[in-house]
Amino acid sequence: MVKRLSADHVLEVTSVSKEFLTKNSRFFALEEISFSVSEGEFVCIVGPSGCGKSTLLRIIAGLLKKTNGKVQFERKNFVRPRTSMVFQNQGLFPWKTVLQNVQFGLQMQGVDKKEREERSIQFLNKIGLSKFIHAFPHTLSGGMRQRVAIARAFISNPEILLMDEPFGMLDAQTRIVMQEELLKLWQERKHTVLYITHDIEEAIFLGDRVLVMSGRPGKFIADIKVPFDRPRSRSEMLKKDAEIRNNIWDLLKDEVIKDLGESG
C-alpha cells in the first residue's frame, strides 16, 4: 500500500479493485490500489501495457465503476471536484472548430458567450494557435490537436487534471516540445495532475512523484519522489536522472517479462 505523502491531500484512493466479466471468464484489472495525491502535485503513473492504468484513471474520473474500495476527494462532504481529462486520441469534436472545442468546457459551466470566446482566444494566443481558431481538427497536425485538447482542459480551471498518455501518439521531437509546453502551463496555476505514461523519462521530467504499477492485476509496487527542483532543465536532468530512471526500469522490467511470458 502506498502511504499518504502529506496531510493536504485532495484525492485519496483506498483499496480500489476492478473486476471485468466476459462470457467465458472474469479477471481483475486492478487489485487493492491505494494512494493519495496532495494539492498541486504532479503525479505520474507508469506500468506495463494492460496493467490497468487507464482503468484507474477512468474510475477516478467517474467514467467507470469500481468493484471494491473508495475514491474520496478531500473537500467538504467529499463532494466530487471539477475534473478535466485529456486522452491520447485528443477526444476533440471533429465537427467543431478549434475555438469551439476549447470553449466547450466553459460553455458547460454556463460561462456567457462573450467571456468564453475572449478567454479561449487569449489561451489559444498563449499556446501559438491564434491563426487556427477557425480550423477543424482534421486539418491540424497531431501536436496541434493535442495542444487544443490541453487548452480545453486547462481553460476550465479544473481542480484535478487527469491525463491518459496525452503524448503517446506523437513523434519524439513533438513530444519533447509538448512536455515543455505542458510544464509551462502547469507552472502558472499548479493544478493537481494525475498523468499516465509508458515513458519513464517523461514521468521523471514532468512529475513530483512516480507511482510504478505491476502487471495485471495492477497494483502499486513503488512510490518514487523525483529529487529535482522546479523549474526543470531537460539538459540538466538528462545528466542526473540515470539512477532514478534505472531504478524505475528495474522495477518494471520483471513485470514486462512476466507479462510477455503469460501472453506468449
The matching CATH number, chosen from 3.30.450.20, 3.40.50.300, 3.20.20.20, 3.40.50.1220, for 1-76+191-264 is 3.40.50.300
| Tens of each residue's pLDDT in the chain, 264 residues | 444 434 577 899 999 999 888 778 888 889 999 999 999 999 999 998 888 899 999 999 888 999 999 998 875 544 556 788 887 776 788 999 999 999 988 888 888 889 989 989 988 888 888 899 999 999 998 888 888 988 888 888 888 999 999 888 888 888 888 888 889 889 888 889 999 998 999 999 999 999 999 988 889 999 999 988 888 877 777 777 788 888 898 888 888 777 666 654
Please state the separation of Cα 52 from the chain's center in Å: 14
Give the 3-state secondary structure of residue 13. Answer: strand
Instruction: Work out whether strand 26-38 and strand 9-21 pair parallel, antiparallel, or are unpaired.
Output: antiparallel
Distances (CA, A) of 254 to 47, 186, 221, 240, 264: 11, 33, 12, 24, 15
List alpha helices for 132-233, DSSP H: 142-155, 172-189, 200-206
Q: Tell me, what's the pLDDT at 81?
A: 62
Q: Tell me, what's the pLDDT at 2?
A: 43
Give the containing element (helix H, strand E) for 133.
none
Q: Tell me, what's the pLDDT at 260?
A: 67
Domain limits, the chain:
1-76+191-264
Give the CA angle between residues 238, 240, 243 to the nearest 5°.
Answer: 105
Give the CA angle between residues 231, 235, 240 to the nearest 5°.
Answer: 85
Q: Tell me, what's the pLDDT at 134?
A: 93
| Residue 128 zone, left/alpha/beta (φ > 0; ψ -120 to 50; rest) | left
Cell numbers describing residue 175: 513530444
Q: Tell me, what's the pLDDT at 233?
A: 77
Q: Which residue bears the cell 494539492?
A: 39
Q: How many angstroms separate the CA atoms of 138 and 120, rounded?
A: 20
CB hemisphere CA count around 52 (13 angstroms): 27
Q: How many angstroms separate the CA atoms of 38 and 6, rounded?
A: 7
Distances (CA, A) of 154 to 24, 66, 104, 162, 206: 42, 27, 12, 11, 16
| Residue 129: exposure state from Cβ atoms within 10 A (0-12, 13-18, ≥19) | buried
| Residue 50: exposure state from Cβ atoms within 10 A (0-12, 13-18, ≥19) | middle
Q: Tell me, what's the pLDDT at 256?
A: 77
Structure pTM? 0.86
Contacts of 201 (CB under 8 A, 6+ apart): 241, 245
Which value, in Å, is the radius of gyration of the alpha carbons in the chain? 19
